[in-house]
A and B are shown apart, each in its own frame.
Chain A
Amino acid sequence: EIVMTQTPLSLSVTPGQPASISCKSSQSLLYSDGKTYLYWYLQKPGQSPQLLIYEVSNRFSAVPDRFSGSGSGTDFTLKISRVEADDVGVYYCMQSTQLPLTLGGGTKVEIE
């Protein structure tokens, strides 16, 4: 199975400052159809996960443009340009290029 490794495990950010989370996969996530099935989710405290980014860099419906995704192959990054208090929670990357779907261990983002 594809192993997803996220860093850092946790992040403490001052409001208004940027934040960046890395996700590395043990194999390329490029599928034979030319798409890369890498996703980012945020699980806010006490809530279900919510989709932020699909297929590396596409923001999901109603996701603020301060969130952006980038990367290719095995290296991916989620960036928050200006962190807000509402961004706290645990961020997960997930791949669906190959079954079983696998997720990173999560990155906990807190506000300083």
Chain B
Amino acid sequence: EVQLLESGGGLVQPGGSLRLSCAASGFTFSTYTMSWVRQAPGKGLEWVSRIRGSGSDKGYADSVKGRFSISRDNSKNTLYLQMDSLRAEDTAVYYCAKGIHALVTAPDYWGRGTLVTVSS
């Protein structure tokens, strides 16, 4: 059974940093593209970033480019999202999501999410 467990969310001041983690199990983690997708309170879904299985190829939404960095540790089956220069508009539930196939970014399984609140 695929399981994705996010952690690291919380309250942070504007301009601050936070690192999210996603512990994965139930599949061969190193094989799959992984993504972060967020959802602001009461709003729709927004794709944030993705990383290929090898970690060599990464992509970002324009709204986070230059501020967020995605990475993974295949030895620990863990996905990360380093978030710097946080803004109020980054407030959202952040979901970790597994790609359908090795080279397909679109998710099939999603975690339960972790809430990030950016506020002074």
1/0 contact string of A94-112 vs chain B (CB within 8 Å) = 1010011111111000000
**Chain B contact residues (Cβ within 8 angstroms of A): what range?**
20 to 34
Interface residues of B in 88-120 (CB under 8 A from A): 95, 100, 104-113
**B46 at the A interface (CB under 8 A):** yes
1/0 contact string of A68-112 vs chain B (CB within 8 Å) = 000000000000000000000010101010011111111000000
1/0 contact string of B31-72 vs chain A (CB within 8 Å) = 000010100000011110010000000011110000000000
- CB-nearest residue of chain A to B108: A51
Establish whether residues A49 and B59, one from each chain, have CB atoms under 8 Å apart when the complex forms: no
Establish whether residues B112 and A101, one from each chain, have CB atoms under 8 Å apart when the complex forms: no
**Can you report 17 residue pairs joining A to B where beta carbons are below 8 Å apart?**
A37-B106, A43-B45, A48-B95, A48-B111, A48-B112, A49-B45, A49-B110, A51-B109, A54-B100, A90-B44, A92-B45, A94-B106, A96-B105, A100-B59, A101-B47, A106-B44, A106-B45
* Residues of B bordering A, CB below 8 Å: 35, 37, 44-47, 50, 59-62, 95, 100, 104-113
* Residues of A bordering B, CB below 8 Å: 1, 37, 39, 41, 43, 48-51, 54, 60, 90, 92, 94, 96, 99-106
